[in-house]
Amino acid sequence: MKKENSSRQKETLIKVLKYIKPYRVLMALTILMATVSVTLTLYLPILTGNAVDMLESVGESFFWTRLYRILGKMAVVVLLTSLAQWIMSICNNKIVYNIIQDIRKKAFRKLEILPLKYMDAHSHGDIVSRVVADVDQFADGLLIGFTQLFTGVITIIGTLGFMLSVNVGITAVVVVITPVSLLVASFIAKKTFYMFKLQSETRGEQTTLINEVVGNQKVVQAFNREDETLEKFDEINGRLEKYSLRAIFFSSLTNPCTRFVNSLVYTGVGLTGALAVIRGALSVGQLTCFLSYANQYTKPFNEISGVITELQNALACAGRIFELIEEDAQIPDKEDAVVLKNVEGKVDLEHVAFSYTEDRKLIEDLNLHVKPGQRIAIVGPTGCGKTTIINLLMRFYDVDQGSIQVENTDIRDITRKSLRASYGMVLQDTWLKKGTIRDNIIVGMPDATEEEIVEAAKKSHAHSFIRRLPNGYDTVIGEDGGSLSQGQKQLLCITRVMLSLPPMLILDEATSSIDTRTEIRIQKAFASMMEGRTSFIVAHRLSTIQNADIILVMKDGHIIEQGNHEELLQKKGFYAELYNSQFALA
């Protein structure tokens, strides 16, 4: 486990360095400003030591002149140090937030091209946590790292150089004790990474639960699941508390442990320096300078050990976001992929086999030949593969075996954009974005005129309720439709398809949330819209598909019956059973 964590840390660090590479000019400026700041900071004790040594000449005519000169130099040094630190801070912030912007852009772009199987296998809350919370944690750690790491390292090197120039023996005492501090920091760092990793993963789990509960609050309350949900939250929250406390405990050991070692360094310098002054090897001013250097030398170890703790957290969070970025994207379009034009609606499925998981077969040897303009209804029990066929037609998933052809061309040889533009989809689950009613209608046809939008809304019977909204088509709705009813949301989705009118249609329980009276009107509108267009209709209410040209009856991934409504009733098979069960009480 330790080797695995160490290897993972190194891999993550290498990836972070790749993101830093484009900003190497700013990085060089940061290092330069850190060097200037540290050099000036280390020069200040020399001036202080000189001022202390000058106390021996109090009363001499040149005393005040020289003292004022030294004080002037100290003022200039302090001002230049502050300026260098300010410039370094600006550079650090610019580097960090540019890197974060790059990572978030890359993560969001990856979300756009990830295959649906990834979305199905990962909770939405965990994905949101990676892109938002983990990236923020990574930014905080990186900012602290840049601010303190460079300065700390240069301070240590510079201080050693200055101390060597004053007294080699006392410097040796400092160097001998230093490795103890490094060993302590290294031991604690290894412990903290694993705990911060668990903390980050559990935070994602918590975000997932909160996301689910907020999005389904009505269901939770309707089924009296408040107590169970609270218990689950408390359990996850308890684990988060445990991992967080452990991570903080180990990381909090760093500062007192390194401070103890640093106190030993300071004590060693004080004792050896005092003996050197007694022997006349050092002046009091030089000892003052040396003690100041000893304090400045040990201070970066406290800061760096704190930085290491933050970096452990940052690397753990970065590892999770890089996992998302490095996920396999959906198979890209072929270089010679065909752009569908003049689509008539001919669709052929040849020996199609597909399953979501290898150990569970779903669709096997599915064959279907659809002529242009035909209405194909797909019926069957839940889980038989109806919606899966829709996913395959739209190429949300690729078939495992066989082929699906549109206009005699395998859809794997067609660009996804042109394939999906050839279909209009109305699903049982609605999707509306935050914006105006108009914005949600013109998704498939952004350049639509006002007359076209209103005409489409009238055909879908959405115009009447839109007109009653406070600002009509300019009414702003929230995420997923805000306060609109489920039926109104679905009418807007139907309007969206009515506006773009693609050559092929997919209607998956398209009127499931609409009242019976409106449904009758919409069915008439659909009938008009489907005229001359190849249509795939998934339905549970068999009364809505009686006029279909072909009804496919599916069971366990196979088409077990095929024909029109009258033919299937005469067969007295599975379709007849489904139909009679729905209308037995009619």
Residue 399 belongs to domain with CATH number: 3.40.50.300
Question: Taking residues 202-226, what's their average pLDDT?
Answer: 80
Residue 341 backbone dihedrals phi, psi, to 5 degrees: -135, 150
Asked whether residue 204 falls in the same domain as residue 287, the answer is: yes
Distances (CA, A) of 240 to 196, 247, 425: 10, 10, 42
**Confidence tier at 79 by pLDDT (50, 70, 90):** very high
Asked whether residue 390 falls in the same domain as residue 313, the answer is: no
| Mean pLDDT comparison of 45-59, 120-134, 335-349, highest-scoring range | 335-349
**Confidence tier at 512 by pLDDT (50, 70, 90):** low
Asked whether residue 359 falls in the same domain as residue 284, the answer is: no
Residue 83 has pLDDT above 90, yes or no: yes
Asked whether residue 295 falls in the same domain as residue 429, the answer is: no
What's the pLDDT score for residue 301?
67
Question: Taking residues 201-226, what's their average pLDDT?
Answer: 80
Beta strands in 37-124 (DSSP E): none
3-state helix, strand, coil in the chain (%, to 5): 70, 10, 20
Residue 246 has pLDDT above 60, yes or no: yes
Asked whether residue 251 falls in the same domain as residue 360, the answer is: no
Residue 1 has pLDDT above 90, yes or no: no
Asked whether residue 483 falls in the same domain as residue 429, the answer is: yes
Asked whether residue 395 falls in the same domain as residue 255, the answer is: no
Asked whether residue 231 falls in the same domain as residue 201, the answer is: yes
Residue 152 has pLDDT above 60, yes or no: yes
Question: Taking residues 301-327, what's their average pLDDT?
Answer: 77
Instruction: Note whether residue 336 is domain-resident.
Output: no
* Residue that terminates a domain, selected from 325, 356, 391: 325
Separation CA 297–CA 299 (nearest Å): 6
Structure tokens at 201: 């993963």
Instruction: Note whether residue 45 is domain-resident.
Output: no
Asked whether residue 174 falls in the same domain as residue 209, the answer is: yes
Separation CA 194–CA 254 (nearest Å): 16
Strand partners, 242: none
Residue of 120 and 505 predicted with greater confidence: 505
Residue 40 has pLDDT above 60, yes or no: yes
Residue 378 has pLDDT above 70, yes or no: yes
What's the pLDDT score for residue 306?
63
DSSP string, 12-46: HHHHHHHHHGGGHHHHHHHHHHHHHHHHHHHHHHH
What's the pLDDT score for residue 359?
76
Residue 254 has pLDDT above 80, yes or no: no
Task: Summarize pLDDT for 93-134 with one digit per residue, the tens.
Answer: 888 888 888 988 998 888 888 888 888 777 777 888 888 888
Strand partners, 318: none
**Confidence tier at 3 by pLDDT (50, 70, 90):** low
Asked if 336 and 412 count as a contact pair (C-beta separation under 8 A), the reply is no
What's the pLDDT score for residue 59?
55
Asked if 547 and 537 count as a contact pair (C-beta separation under 8 A), the reply is no
Instruction: Note whether residue 41 is domain-resident.
Output: no
What's the pLDDT score for residue 411?
92
CA angle 411, 415, 418 (to 5 degrees): 95
Query: Worst-scoring range by mean pLDDT, 33-37, 303-307, 466-470?
Result: 303-307
Asked whether residue 196 falls in the same domain as residue 254, the answer is: yes
Instruction: Note whether residue 3 is domain-resident.
Output: no
- Percent of the chain past pLDDT 70, that is, above it, reads 90
The CATH number of whichever domain residue 152 belongs to comes to: 1.20.1560.10
Residue of 376 and 63 predicted with greater confidence: 376
What's the pLDDT score for residue 585?
45
CA angle 69, 71, 77 (to 5 degrees): 105
Instruction: Note whether residue 430 is domain-resident.
Output: yes
Asked whether residue 321 falls in the same domain as residue 455, the answer is: no
Instruction: Note whether residue 398 is domain-resident.
Output: yes
* Residue that terminates a domain, selected from 291, 325, 359: 325
Instruction: Note whether residue 66 is domain-resident.
Output: no
Residue 421 has pLDDT above 50, yes or no: yes
Provide the number of structural domains found in the chain: 2
Asked whether residue 222 falls in the same domain as residue 362, the answer is: no
**Confidence tier at 403 by pLDDT (50, 70, 90):** very high
516 is in which domain, residue-wise?
Answer: 347-583
Residue 334 has pLDDT above 90, yes or no: no
Residue 257 has pLDDT above 80, yes or no: no
Instruction: Note whether residue 470 is domain-resident.
Output: yes
Residue 337 has pLDDT above 70, yes or no: yes
Residue 572 has pLDDT above 90, yes or no: no
Residue 234 has pLDDT above 60, yes or no: yes
Question: Taking residues 389-410, what's their average pLDDT?
Answer: 89
If one counts every other C-beta atom within 10 angstroms of the C-beta of residue 223, the result is 9
Query: Worst-scoring range by mean pLDDT, 132-136, 278-282, 448-452, 462-466?
Result: 278-282
Strand partners, 348: 369, 405
- Percent of the chain past pLDDT 90, that is, above it, reads 5
- Across all residues in the chain, what is the average pLDDT? 81
Collapsing DSSP to helix, strand or coil, 406 comes out as: strand
